[in-house]
Structure 1
């Protein structure tokens, strides 16, 4: 699987093509889906551009993206301040405005309760692991483990999560994004790329948009994948 991370926690000032509104997210989702992406991950925003999990904003964003790319997996971040458990509980009646998957960082206090809240509203859980920790029994509803790594930490983190027997998405950020992407391709793990992870192509040049990063990632996949 190649996932596109469309915006992350970035601000509009960081890149002119960063998609923040529902319409822009839908446009970018359609562009990357045409390049072979089967999952998109993003941080939904409110009208002033702040990250949000509120039902009306989530419903509008998800429904707009889903209309542009029906059938593609839509994943959102839960890394926002506030009473996330109560807000997620309000997602239950959203139907087409509910994401397929939401990410939960295991470094966050109360991550198990957050995973349970998502499971109760029929949203899959993408556990995010960035450091060595004791995961214990994996909560119900977890669909995969997303490992955020550097070239130096990837091997150790993979040793921790591989025994869980779940699909693994391995990715890096900023200067580590492309080296970790190449490493993940060679190991045949799921991968991701996009402006949420890095603003630059492998040659260091600022990417025009998400589509350029994904097109580059696809070429990298084809050239580095085991034969």
Structure 2
């Protein structure tokens, strides 16, 4: 399964192609759904561009996306930087349960390292929203293994926060080893310089993965800004983007992904920022 993460916690003015408004998120959702993406993980924003867990904001964003891409699983964040108080978070999630079905998220991510994570998971399960458990470190993995998966868990998100492309995969292996067998699918992904190497590792090992502007603004060679989430998804699927590399000539990295394992039969490319 390939998930798209179109915006994340990036500043609203980070790059014009990153979708922030409900309309722009819905536009990107429609585009990536047409490519076969099955799940979308979004960070809803209020009218001022600030991340929000308010039910009105969640309902507007999810409902707008659902109208354009009704077949997609739609997930949102519950990160503590959006609402630091776990009790307040659970109160807001309780209000999500009153949203109409089309405006209610299918899943929500909960980071295991955050205080009150089990309470947040229980609040999501109580209103029928699935849980994606965010595991960022080997310590998180051990903690989750000891606690056990809470009811309502849909998948475990193994999130490699090491951004060095030379060491990100090694960190992914450590996290997966610490997790061990779990009774839920594992979605493995990296970020920034580590995004593409970790995605490639996930593909080779038949794990779910994701790509989008939350994880990286750049394509697999690390030198150019992607034109949109759709372009990132195409590369994750092993597809070329017409003309992107045809203009490059001999020397350096000419030929782009034709030396990458994202191309059938290719060798592993260097991934550098």
Distance 2:180 2:229 in 1: 29
Distance 1:75 1:24 in 2: 16
| Unpaired runs of at least 5, structure 2 | 161-167, 239-260, 266-273
Aligned pairs (5 A) from 1:136-147: 136-147=147-158
**Maintained 8 Å contact 1:17/1:209:** yes
| Residue 87 in structure 1 maps to residue 92 in structure 2 | yes
Distance 1:203 1:13 in 2: 24
Counterpart in the other structure of 2:130:
124
**Maintained 8 Å contact 2:138/2:179:** no
Distance 1:222 1:26 in 2: 29
Higher relative contact order (CA closer than 8 Å, sequence separation 6+) = 1
**Maintained 8 Å contact 2:131/2:154:** yes
| Residue 167 in structure 1 maps to residue 185 in structure 2 | yes
| Pairwise CA distance, 1:221 | 6.1
| Residue 112 in structure 1 maps to residue 100 in structure 2 | no
Q: Would you tell me which structure has more helix in proportion to its own residues?
A: 1
> When the two structures are superposed, what TM-score results if normalisation uses the length of structure 2?
0.79
Distance 2:89 2:209 in 1: 27
Runs of 4+ off more than 3 Å: 220-224
Distance 2:179 2:203 in 1: 17
SS in 1 for 2:59: helix
| Pairwise CA distance, 1:48 | 0.3
Q: Deviations along 1:102-156, whole A, 9 cap, x unmatched?
A: 0000010110000000000100000000012311221100010000112221111
Counterpart in the other structure of 1:20:
20
Distance 1:53 1:223 in 2: 41
RMSD, aligned α-carbons:
1.3
